[in-house]
Structure 1
Amino acid sequence: MLRSMYAGISGMKGFQSKLDVVGNNIANVSTAGFKKGRVTFQDMMSQTTSAAQGPTANRGGVNAMQVGLGSQTGSIDNLHTQGYRQTTNNPLDLQLEGDGMFVVAEGLEGDESDQIELEDTDTSYTRAGNFYLDTNGNIVNPDGMYLLGFAADDDGNIQNSEDGELNISALNIPQDAQSFSVQTNGVVNYTDADGNNQVAGQVALANFSNPGGLEKAGSNLFRNTPNAGMQGDLVVPENEGTATIVSGALEMSNVDLSEEFTEMITAQRGFQANTRIITTSDEILQELVNLKR
């Protein structure tokens, strides 16, 4: 069989994957916190028909002769560039301006306000900042997962545990609060029933040296992986290179439609070209079969 036919098949498979990724990007062009994907390709191992030879006393060197065997998918990357801002004026719509991700968890008790150990919780990370209040006053995402932050004591100070680390807890705003706000450093303030200003806590962020190494888990969530490079414990916003929080706005998808349409056309033409390779190879085989006639 002709090697060109198998090379064409490998090209078709690769461009099909590219079209799948481009289609997913376009489908999520309006998804809050979505990070677009990108496909890169690599050539397959080539078949060597003649090895390279070094120069001798009587003749010069000769280069190797190789025939490529097609292409393969090199990587499918998640590009964590900043998405555009959409102003909503909803105080629980939080946008991250810079590096870092919100931390959400499930499996907590509804009234849990004491220190939480991250290794004991089902924790996920997200850039989608559309949060809500449940019936108990907890700040949750659309799936009911708790937004984690640093607890505050009765004096409004962020609590430290015995080892000096900040106490992590689910953020809660009392049901009798008259109003609340979120500052750029993540501190959640509210006005109690008596008209006094109180501190509910401070939003916690996770920072990663390689956010592209995070694994998408659906529902705008990411999971930590050994290659994501989570930098130590959770940190407060505007500290250690983490983002500033903008209340009343959402970070939308970083998908550029004009770029995606261009990539879609390129993938479509590449797919068509590889089908033409298979058609041409088939015609050559047909000619060979007909030689006997």
Structure 2
Amino acid sequence: MMRSLWSGVAGLTTHQLEMDVIGNNIANVNTTAYKSQATGFADVLYQTVKNGTGSGDTTATTNVSQVGLGTKVASIYTNISKSGSMQTTGNAFDLMITGDSFFVVSSDASTNPAMRNFTRDGAFTIDADGNLVTQNNGFYVFGIMGDGNIPRGGNVNLTNLRLISDATKTIGGTATSASYFSGNIDSLDKDLETEDGKTLRIEVFGRDGEIYTLKYGLTDGQDEADNTFKLSLKSIQNSNGDLITNTTNANVDLVYSKNNGRLVSANGATNGMVHMEFGGQASMIGPIDIDFSNTSNYASINGKHSSSFYGYRGDTQGLNQGYANGTMTGLSVTDNGSIFAKYSNGQTVKIAQIAVAEFNNAMGLEMIGDNLYAQSLNSGEAMIMDITYDGGYMTAGVLESSNVDLAKEFTDMITTQRGFQANSRVITTSDEMLQILHGLKR
């Protein structure tokens, strides 16, 4: 009789614990990246009432007779592999992981692996010091800084990601290294016969990121064949409009075919390429390779003799234009966790990459609250990697919702309640039977 009482008590205890798990799941139905839990039951010890026997000459076999002593909670496991639905936020630093990975975070900016925790909650923000941190508890997000990639196998020293610092707020300019001229020189253009000639201007970037204006004058070469011209550097102005000196020869002699008007040479180079260097105060400019191969020399047939001859920054493919100094205007995250900074000069530079971790047994991670997990003996060691190495990816502007299935939880709640009621009935019935036994004494 007492066995049924204790079995009923065990049933009440386990069903109460299952109800606690269900209640926690329902409470976290809107918790970002929460992973639902489920309870597994197992029977407990058995008392043998009659041993089993083997067969004999005159007897058959008999099975063992046992009475169970109730139930116990065998496990509370986390449904770690089921992803929650996608919740759009529009925040560039809200990141959702697709795959089995976890973000690596820590309350300490040190690189000590023992201080690391792991999370699926990708709600991040930038703190006052420019660090990428979790929104709910300010933990540092870990990865690598610079334009490198996290190697396969994770043999890398992680660091907290300080995205806004003196090193990333600005980007230095790059000097213009190529230029080209195009168009036609009209031999009958009267402007070419003046002392200053036809004025041309090209704006180029120096190695200091500042812009410089090169002022050229195109004049007739004063030859009898009337097919040579001189492009002379008249002046150089800096971004403040001040004139600066140049100590090198920056002039170009152009020769064209009298028969077809095509370029024959530029400073003797038949391919039309002139390598130009600058000195003195202008030493921050160049060197610049200037292409004249797209120019020609024809006299206009419409009576309006004017040269349509222009210079451009960069080569004919639009490359090597250089750029000015820039300041950071924004940050973005790609699907492999790479973080790119956008600058006012149009440049986009990779400055960091977010690392992720995977485990041989992610269900063995310990849940420690605040949407955090801790490594345990049963989870195995964290394997640091680029998220794309196992086919996963990150999506910016969205968060992972809780994976709690309310329909399932309500169904489990009903079955748990019925199980609790049934076990309580076992106790009350056993109590009534004991009362009957006590009544026999009277």
Whether the TM-score (by the shorter chain) exceeds 0.5 is yes
Question: 1-side partners of 2:150 and 2:438: how far apart?
Answer: 82
Contact preservation (8 Å) 2:150, 2:355:
no
**What residue is the counterpart of 1:39 in the other structure?**
39
Number of matched pairs: 277
**What residue is the counterpart of 2:437 in the other structure?**
288
Question: 2-side partners of 1:88 and 1:291: how far apart?
Answer: 72
Q: Normalising by the residue count of structure 1, what TM-score does the alignment of the two structures yield?
A: 0.90
**What residue is the counterpart of 1:96 in the other structure?**
97
- Tell me the amino acid that sits aligned with residue 357 of structure 2: A
1:7 offset after TM fit, Å?
0.4
1:157 offset after TM fit, Å?
2.8
Distance 1:100 1:264, change over 3 A: same
Determine helix, strand or coil for the equivalent of 2:385: coil
Determine whether 1:172 maps to 2:162: yes
Q: Deviations over 1:240-259 (max 9, x none)?
A: x2521011111111100000
**What residue is the counterpart of 2:11 in the other structure?**
11
1:83 offset after TM fit, Å?
1.1
Gaps of 5+ in 2: 170-327
1:169 offset after TM fit, Å?
1.4
Question: 2-side partners of 1:243 and 1:253: how far apart?
Answer: 19
Question: 2-side partners of 1:205 and 1:12: how far apart?
Answer: 42
Determine whether 1:277 maps to 2:426: yes
Q: Deviations over 1:32-51 (max 9, x none)?
A: 11111110101111100111
**What residue is the counterpart of 2:401 in the other structure?**
252
**What residue is the counterpart of 2:214 in the other structure?**
none
Determine helix, strand or coil for the equivalent of 1:291: helix
Contact preservation (8 Å) 1:99, 1:242:
no
Distance 1:220 1:242, change over 3 A: farther
Q: Deviations over 1:121-178 (max 9, x none)?
A: x2100001100110121110021111001221xxx23488xxx933411112226421
- Tell me the amino acid that sits aligned with residue 148 of structure 2: N
1:231 offset after TM fit, Å?
5.1
Question: 2-side partners of 1:219 and 1:95: how far apart?
Answer: 17
Contact preservation (8 Å) 1:158, 1:166:
no
1:223 offset after TM fit, Å?
0.3
| 149, 154, 160: which one aligns with 2:143 | 149
Contact preservation (8 Å) 1:151, 1:159:
no
Contact preservation (8 Å) 1:33, 1:252:
yes
Distance 1:126 1:231, change over 3 A: closer
Determine helix, strand or coil for the equivalent of 1:227: coil
- Which aligned segments of 4 or more residues in structure 1 are displaced greater than 6 angstroms? none
**What residue is the counterpart of 1:208 in the other structure?**
359
Contact preservation (8 Å) 1:51, 1:63:
yes
Contact preservation (8 Å) 1:151, 1:167:
no
Determine whether 1:118 maps to 2:267: no
Question: 2-side partners of 1:256 and 1:199: how far apart?
Answer: 39
Question: 2-side partners of 1:159 and 1:64: how far apart?
Answer: 61
Cα RMSD (Å) of the superposition?
1.7
Determine whether 1:76 maps to 2:76: yes
Deviation larger for 275-284 or 192-201: 192-201
**What residue is the counterpart of 2:417 in the other structure?**
268
Distance 1:292 1:166, change over 3 A: closer
Contact preservation (8 Å) 1:117, 1:168:
no
Determine helix, strand or coil for the equivalent of 2:25: helix
Distance 1:229 1:165, change over 3 A: closer
**What residue is the counterpart of 2:206 in the other structure?**
none
Map 1:30-69; keep pairs closer than 5 Å.
30-69=30-69
Distance 1:137 1:252, change over 3 A: same
Question: 1-side partners of 2:439 and 2:395: how far apart?
Answer: 72
**What residue is the counterpart of 1:113 in the other structure?**
none
- Tell me the amino acid that sits aligned with residue 130 of structure 2: G
Determine whether 1:137 maps to 2:287: no
Question: 2-side partners of 1:174 and 1:193: how far apart?
Answer: 15
Question: 2-side partners of 1:209 and 1:29: how far apart?
Answer: 27
Contact preservation (8 Å) 1:19, 1:267:
yes
1:274 offset after TM fit, Å?
0.5
**What residue is the counterpart of 2:371 in the other structure?**
220
- Tell me the amino acid that sits aligned with residue 94 of structure 2: D
Determine helix, strand or coil for the equivalent of 2:431: helix
**What residue is the counterpart of 1:235 in the other structure?**
385
- The percent identity for this pair of structures is 39
Question: 2-side partners of 1:150 and 1:8: how far apart?
Answer: 56
1:199 offset after TM fit, Å?
1.4
Contact preservation (8 Å) 2:150, 2:353:
no
Q: Deviations over 1:83-141 (max 9, x none)?
A: 111111211000001111000012227xxxxxx3424xx21000011001101211100
Distance 1:212 1:288, change over 3 A: same
Distance 1:65 1:183, change over 3 A: same
